[in-house]
């Protein structure tokens, strides 16, 4: 029987809630804030979860936006946040308001993000001459070079 990846966590705040799945097949574990926070337009705000985790070596935690908050106008300005296996501090979610008005409020206890635990492959970079990278149909084309549709 496979018990999955074991991720230890601790509550750094008395109101912190453990990571929880919204449904049995959800890929991510919901993270909640322990404080009511004002998220101002165009500014990045660190929203505390009150949790710290010990992610096993060979894995990372990806902190992603919840689609319901994105639909309201809250984004994670860094896209996906990474929790490295050697980080032991509190997990914060970096949030920015891009919706109507000057700001919005996130209430204490609200689900603010989801964390996905992903394997990290062992990678070894090997420096070579440019001609050793190989030819591809795309080549050096970037930023829309493969077309819009």
Residue 109 lies in a domain: yes
Residue 96 lies in a domain: yes
Which CATH number fits the domain that encloses residue 95?
2.70.40.10
Residue 35 lies in a domain: yes
Residue 94 lies in a domain: yes
Number of domains in the chain: 1
pLDDT (tens digit per residue) in 53-109: 999 999 999 999 998 888 889 999 988 999 999 999 999 999 999 999 999 999 999
pTM for the complete prediction? 0.85
Q: Which domain holds residue 18?
A: 8-121
Residue 37 lies in a domain: yes
pLDDT (tens digit per residue) in 4-13: 899 999 999 9
Residue 98 lies in a domain: yes
Residue 130 lies in a domain: no
Residue 149 has pLDDT above 90, yes or no: no
pLDDT at 67: 87
Residue 135 lies in a domain: no
Angle at 70 between CA 148 and CA 76, to 5 degrees: 90
pLDDT at 43: 93
């Amino acid at each position: 029987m496979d018990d999955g990846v074991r991720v230890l966590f601790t509550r750094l705040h008395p109101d912190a809630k453990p990571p929880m799945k919204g449904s049995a097949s959800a890929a991510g574990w919901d993270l909640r804030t322990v404080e009511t926070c004002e998220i101002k337009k165009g500014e990045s705000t660190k929203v505390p979860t009150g949790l710290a985790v010990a992610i096993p070596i060979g894995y990372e935690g990806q902190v992603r936006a919840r689609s319901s908050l994105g639909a309201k106008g809250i984004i994670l300005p860094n896209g996906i946040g990474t929790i490295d296996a050697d980080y032991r501090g509190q997990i914060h979610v970096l949030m920015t308001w891009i919706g109507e008005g000057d700001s919005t409020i996130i209430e204490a206890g609200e689900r603010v993000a989801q964390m996905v635990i992903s394997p990290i492959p062992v990678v070894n970079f090997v420096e070579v001459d440019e001609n050793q990278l190989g030819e591809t149909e795309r080549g050096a084309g970037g930023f829309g070079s493969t077309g819009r549709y």
